[in-house]
Amino acid sequence: MSNAEHPRIHAKEDELVPRVLIRAVLALLLIVLSLVTIATLTNRPLESTPAQTPIIAERAIYLSGDASGAARVMDLNGSILADFPSDKGGFVAGIERVIARERGKSGADASAPVILRLREGNRLSIYDPETNWSAELMGFGADNLRTFARLLSKP
């Protein structure tokens, strides 16, 4: 049993988290929860979303890849834009697997093209019109961004 004079604390007093800090974190959590609730209930529109910026260039492409990391990118005519070996195509094959999974979940056409888009501010994204899935490619590193940027500019 615990006693009011001797609480059951196994840590030294100087090692405990100060109560003021715990209360500050709790207050911050409640404020954030309140703001999210208000925004949700009032249907506040999203702000600063990259998908809202104007499209400068776009290209429809077909992606195919396998688990080894090899990937192939073709244009709408079936011409090969890029053929990556297993040690170079891991990111492209990974994007293809994500798109295939999203299409499988929604029952969409697995053989439809995806759209590579360059938006204002040099924001490159890939968009799947079958599932409305998209990804901003700048978040995956400069090398991966360059890989897709080259595909956009190829004739």
Is 1 contained in some domain? no
Residues with Cβ within 8 Å of 91's Cβ and at least 6 positions away in sequence, in order, are: 140, 144, 147
Question: Do residues 33 and 62 share a domain?
Answer: no
The pair of structure tokens assigned to 96 is: 């293809």
Model pLDDT for residues 9-53, shown as the tens digit of each residue: 677 777 788 889 999 999 999 999 999 999 999 998 877 666 677
CA-CA-CA-CA torsion sign (17, 21, 27, 28): negative
Question: Do residues 40 and 116 share a domain?
Answer: no
Model pLDDT for residues 49-93, shown as the tens digit of each residue: 666 778 888 889 998 888 788 888 888 888 888 888 888 778 888
Whole-angstrom Cα Rg for the chain: 25
pTM of the prediction? 0.64
Task: Give me the domain span that covers residue 32.
Answer: 9-44
The pair of structure tokens assigned to 79 is: 């011409």
Question: Do residues 35 and 54 share a domain?
Answer: no
The tally of domains found in the chain comes to 2
Amino acid at 110: A
Task: Confirm if 143 and 134 have CB atoms less than 8 A apart.
Answer: no
Model pLDDT for residues 116-143, shown as the tens digit of each residue: 988 888 888 889 888 888 888 887 888 8
